[in-house]
């Protein structure tokens, strides 16, 4: 079995590559944390919108029901 030694130049190049990889990993982690925060805001907004739509739908159903009851109370057949 023969050992191959790495030259000083190759070792420096490898060290630079590893530094760059470490930097990319840290940048990626930071970006993922930022995107996680943004997704949290979007999720909260979507939840709020869904709740508001449900509330407004219930209000519309109530208004429509009342309107139909009022219309039926004042409905006068034409006698045809």
Residue 79 lies in a domain: no
Instruction: Give mean pLDDT, residues 64-69.
Output: 87
Q: How far is CA 2 from CA 5, 10, 59, in A?
A: 10, 19, 82
Q: Is residue 47 part of a domain?
A: yes
DSSP 8-class letter at 30: H
Q: Which residues contact 40 (CB under 8 A, 6 or more apart)?
A: none
What's the domain range around 67?
8-73
Is residue 44 in a domain? yes
Between residues 52 and 68, the one the model is more confident about: 52
pLDDT for the residue 78: 67
The per-residue pLDDT for 71 is: 82
- Residue-level pLDDT at 1: 65
79 pLDDT higher than 70: no
Q: What is the pTM of this model?
A: 0.60
């Amino acid at each position: 079995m023969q050992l191959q030694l790495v030259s000083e130049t190759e070792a420096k190049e490898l060290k630079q590559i590893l530094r760059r990889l470490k930097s990319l990993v840290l940048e990626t982690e930071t970006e993922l944390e930022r995107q996680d925060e943004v997704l949290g805001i979007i999720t909260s907004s979507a939840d709020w919108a869904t709740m508001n739509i449900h509330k407004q739908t219930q209000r519309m159903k109530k208004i429509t029901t009342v309107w139909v009851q009022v219309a039926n109370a004042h409905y006068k057949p034409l006698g045809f």
